[in-house]
Chains A and B, each alone.
Chain A
Amino acid sequence: MSEKLLNIEDLVLRFYTYEGIVEALDGVNLDIRRGETLGLVGETGCGKTVTGLSTMVLVPPPGRIEGGRILLNKNDTVVDLLSKDEAFLSDVRGADISMAFQDPRSALDPVCTVRAHISEVFLRHRKQELVERVLSRPLSRLEREVYEMMSKNPDSLVLKVVSRIPLLNRYKHKLQDEVNNEVMRMLKEMQIPDADRVADMYPHELSGGMAQRVVLAMALACSPELLIADEPTTNLDVTIQLQILNLIRELKRKFGSTVEYITHDLGVIAEICDRVAVMYAGNVVEVADVMEAFKNPLHPYTRALLESIPRPGREFKSIEGTVPSLIDPPKGCRFHTRCSYAMEICTKEKPPLKEVAKGHYVQCFLY
């Protein structure tokens, strides 16, 4: 059993909107083990995207995290991300945990080239390394002085001033060269053909698949421990989706990253995930190995979800009712209004997430 990389305990998230308080996450428990691909599956509104955002403490207002802990295993120490300040978190984001968003073309800044996007990641997190690399090359005396200053005293006022003076800041070119090398390396890793040309393109010139590769390049630039992929292939064609999934698999192997894959597509989950967590209305209702989850789904919602996948020759089965509004969610187990096995207790208390079989957790009073 490999160690836990990330552990989310009892996460509570609320959105304070005009229409009321949305209880988006109701005590979410989730853990991700090093080296695995965990699938987070659920329908629209179940909270999977905000879970991903919360992991990086990136939930926009009016959302507020109001409870729980997010424990990250960083450099062999466990830190609670929710107790850290913005400076610490800003270092974590991009370097330890990074996210690939759903719609690649809207995740990219339309006025920045591909090169600019990826460079930004490197400059934010790996500047020191890059400066060292520059210093190891032949430099003129002046340049060497500037770079030494960058390495030892990066926040100095002198640097700030000099970097803004047009002719003097030519020294930056050396650094940019180093960064460019890294950018090209990343683009080639992403199997982007004609990387030189693509690097100077703007997001609107890229196809969906290409844009998604760029987003992945940004996310993986600093070899983060954890990659959170939020529906990266939902808007892509099926053949491009296959390319991207294969790419993610390959990259995972190469970089040794752990992947949290958020999606509503059960087919994709079956394709690339090792374990899967099913979410409904702000709760994690079932967690299991992917084989186990498909073969032997325990939670009534998971069962119903698998049943509702259209199959030829069979009748269409859907789940009764609709997803409840999270402003005044049902008491007790939130699924009880649509559950065919609902019991008295389900309307009153929320079931705990229990380990029913080895590695198989369910949140249901049936067990």
Chain B
Amino acid sequence: MEVRSKLAEYRVRLQPTVRELKLVGTRIRSSRLSILGAAIIVFYIALALLGPWIAPAGRPSQGGDPYMIPKFGILVTPQPPGSIVHGNYALFGTTAWQYDIYYGCVWGTRSAFRVGLLVVIPSLLVGLVLGMIAGYYGGYLDELFMRLTDVIMAFPSLILDMALIVVLVPLGVQRLDAVMLAFVLVGWTNYARVIRGEVLRTKNEDYVEAAKSIGCSDLRVIAKHILPNSIYPVLIMASLDIGTTVLGVAALTFIGLGAPEGYADWGQLIAYSRNFIFGKPDNPFGYWYTFIIPGLFISFFTLGWNLLGDAFRDILDPTIRRK
């Protein structure tokens, strides 16, 4: 009765959304790059989900933490893909100190998603809230927030991240958590800027004024009228940012400020390859697998999110959708 009619209501409500989604689906299918982007990300998601099965944990060298890469030996020199080290089969070979590259890459996918999402989503939320308030109310609040973002953005972001990490770790924050926190503290500014611009544009629209004319409270106007119409650029930024964040963390790990020793992270794998990038004089790229393989993982991850972000932008803008 009540429930049934509510369900029926929801079903009917969904119809135009379904229609729109069908349109979106067709557009995605028609753009090869979008399909590629989607495929790449789907592949990574599968890899992350299937991790525990295709790269099982439980070795003694991991010390109980599946995110630590198992060591197959103790010697420093990396072993090529397909070799057997102390009875362990290394599909992608091992990197310095015999860390298994295959395991590192697979569990590195999980790390990547974890880091990416745990950085982007909070940055997005913080930037969203502050940017919306600044844009909607203007005045002193706007000035305050924008000067704050100016200060933060004046620093090269990676440098600022490093400074923050160096401050946070001695305070007892775990290494990787410090990295993520630092990224959030620096990264929200981009979102705030973008959403503020969109809010400024949207708040002058007729329908916002119309909403006020029927008596909507500020909160309602922001939530129901301004937000849904101004959020798309930010969502696109966010999807692009996931790739960029992972790249950034990898860079920091390479110089030693990111993931802890032995952590399953693509950047960490590349960090281990530091001394082996230029192999022996007679065999310059002899140890290519130590950095090329994790490098490819990073590159495709970033590429996938980039393509997907582009696709979102083309697809989600309701005004150009119908072209």
Direct contact of A and B (CB under 8 A): yes
Binding site for B on A (CB under 8 A): 17-19
Chain B contacts for A19, CB-based, 8 A: 322
Chain B contacts for A17, CB-based, 8 A: 322-323
- Which residue of chain B has the shortest Cβ distance to A19 in the bound complex? B322
Interface string of B306-323 (1 = CB under 8 A from A): 000000000000000011
Instruction: Pick the 7 closest A-B CB pairs, nearest first.
Output: A18-B323, A18-B322, A19-B322, A17-B323, A18-B27, A17-B322, A18-B26
Q: How far is the CA of A19 from the CA of B26 in the complex (A)?
A: 11
- Chain B's nearest CB lies how many Å from the CB of A62? 9
Q: How far is the CA of A18 from the CA of B315 in the complex (A)?
A: 13
- Chain B's nearest CB lies how many Å from the CB of A216? 31
Q: How far is the CA of A17 from the CA of B23 in the complex (A)?
A: 13
- Selected A-B contacts with CB under 8 Å, 7 pairs: A17-B322, A17-B323, A18-B26, A18-B27, A18-B322, A18-B323, A19-B322
Which residues of chain B from 273 to 323 have any CB-CB distance to chain A below 8 Å in the complex?
A: 322-323
Q: How far is the CA of A18 from the CA of B322 in the complex (A)?
A: 7
- Which residue of chain A has the shortest Cβ distance to B321 in the bound complex? A18
Chain A contacts for B26, CB-based, 8 A: 18
- Which residue of chain B has the shortest Cβ distance to A17 in the bound complex? B323
Chain A contacts for B27, CB-based, 8 A: 18
Q: What total of chain B residues lie within 8 Å of the partner, measured CB to CB? A: 4
- Which residue of chain B has the shortest Cβ distance to A62 in the bound complex? B323
- Which residue of chain A has the shortest Cβ distance to B23 in the bound complex? A18
Q: How far is the CA of A19 from the CA of B323 in the complex (A)?
A: 8
- Chain A's nearest CB lies how many Å from the CB of B289? 46
- Chain A's nearest CB lies how many Å from the CB of B24? 12
- Which residue of chain A has the shortest Cβ distance to B26 in the bound complex? A18
Q: How far is the CA of A81 from the CA of B289 in the complex (A)?
A: 63
- Chain B's nearest CB lies how many Å from the CB of A245? 31
Q: How far is the CA of A17 from the CA of B27 in the complex (A)?
A: 12
- Chain B's nearest CB lies how many Å from the CB of A204? 17
Interface string of B17-56 (1 = CB under 8 A from A): 0000000001100000000000000000000000000000
Q: How far is the CA of A17 from the CA of B323 in the complex (A)?
A: 7
Q: How far is the CA of A18 from the CA of B24 in the complex (A)?
A: 12
- Which residue of chain A has the shortest Cβ distance to B323 in the bound complex? A18
Q: How far is the CA of A19 from the CA of B23 in the complex (A)?
A: 10
Q: How far is the CA of A19 from the CA of B322 in the complex (A)?
A: 8
- Chain A's nearest CB lies how many Å from the CB of B110? 39
Q: How far is the CA of A327 from the CA of B154 in the complex (A)?
A: 53
Chain A contacts for B323, CB-based, 8 A: 17-18
- Chain A's nearest CB lies how many Å from the CB of B23? 8
Q: How far is the CA of A102 from the CA of B276 in the complex (A)?
A: 67
Q: How far is the CA of A342 from the CA of B139 in the complex (A)?
A: 63
- Chain A's nearest CB lies how many Å from the CB of B216? 31
- Chain B's nearest CB lies how many Å from the CB of A18? 7
Q: How far is the CA of A363 from the CA of B322 in the complex (A)?
A: 33
Q: How far is the CA of A19 from the CA of B321 in the complex (A)?
A: 11
- Chain B's nearest CB lies how many Å from the CB of A56? 23
Q: How far is the CA of A195 from the CA of B322 in the complex (A)?
A: 44
Q: How far is the CA of A152 from the CA of B137 in the complex (A)?
A: 65
- Chain B's nearest CB lies how many Å from the CB of A202? 22
- Chain B's nearest CB lies how many Å from the CB of A45? 15
- Chain A's nearest CB lies how many Å from the CB of B20? 13
Q: How far is the CA of A18 from the CA of B314 in the complex (A)?
A: 14
Q: How far is the CA of A252 from the CA of B159 in the complex (A)?
A: 68
Chain A contacts for B322, CB-based, 8 A: 17-19
Chain B contacts for A18, CB-based, 8 A: 26-27, 322-323
- Chain B's nearest CB lies how many Å from the CB of A165? 40
Q: How far is the CA of A190 from the CA of B322 in the complex (A)?
A: 40
Which residues of chain B from 242 to 288 have any CB-CB distance to chain A below 8 Å in the complex?
A: none
- Chain B's nearest CB lies how many Å from the CB of A20? 11
- Chain B's nearest CB lies how many Å from the CB of A258? 35
Which residues of chain B from 91 to 133 have any CB-CB distance to chain A below 8 Å in the complex?
A: none
- Chain A's nearest CB lies how many Å from the CB of B190? 28
- Chain A's nearest CB lies how many Å from the CB of B144? 31
- Chain B's nearest CB lies how many Å from the CB of A127? 38
Q: How far is the CA of A185 from the CA of B52 in the complex (A)?
A: 81
Q: How far is the CA of A18 from the CA of B30 in the complex (A)?
A: 11
- Chain B's nearest CB lies how many Å from the CB of A59? 16
- Chain A's nearest CB lies how many Å from the CB of B271? 48
Central interface residue in B26, B27, B323, by most chain A CB within 10 Å = B323
Q: How far is the CA of A365 from the CA of B285 in the complex (A)?
A: 83
Q: How far is the CA of A197 from the CA of B27 in the complex (A)?
A: 50
Q: How far is the CA of A46 from the CA of B69 in the complex (A)?
A: 69
- Chain A's nearest CB lies how many Å from the CB of B274? 49
Q: How far is the CA of A17 from the CA of B320 in the complex (A)?
A: 12
- Chain A's nearest CB lies how many Å from the CB of B39? 23
- Chain B's nearest CB lies how many Å from the CB of A83? 30
Q: How far is the CA of A315 from the CA of B322 in the complex (A)?
A: 38
Q: How far is the CA of A18 from the CA of B27 in the complex (A)?
A: 9
Q: How far is the CA of A211 from the CA of B124 in the complex (A)?
A: 43
- Chain B's nearest CB lies how many Å from the CB of A16? 11
Q: How far is the CA of A113 from the CA of B26 in the complex (A)?
A: 44
- Chain A's nearest CB lies how many Å from the CB of B29? 12
- Chain B's nearest CB lies how many Å from the CB of A19? 7
- Chain A's nearest CB lies how many Å from the CB of B51? 40
- Chain A's nearest CB lies how many Å from the CB of B156? 32
Which residues of chain B from 40 to 87 have any CB-CB distance to chain A below 8 Å in the complex?
A: none
- Chain B's nearest CB lies how many Å from the CB of A171? 46
- Chain A's nearest CB lies how many Å from the CB of B67? 46
Q: How far is the CA of A116 from the CA of B30 in the complex (A)?
A: 42
- Chain B's nearest CB lies how many Å from the CB of A48? 22
Q: How far is the CA of A115 from the CA of B158 in the complex (A)?
A: 48
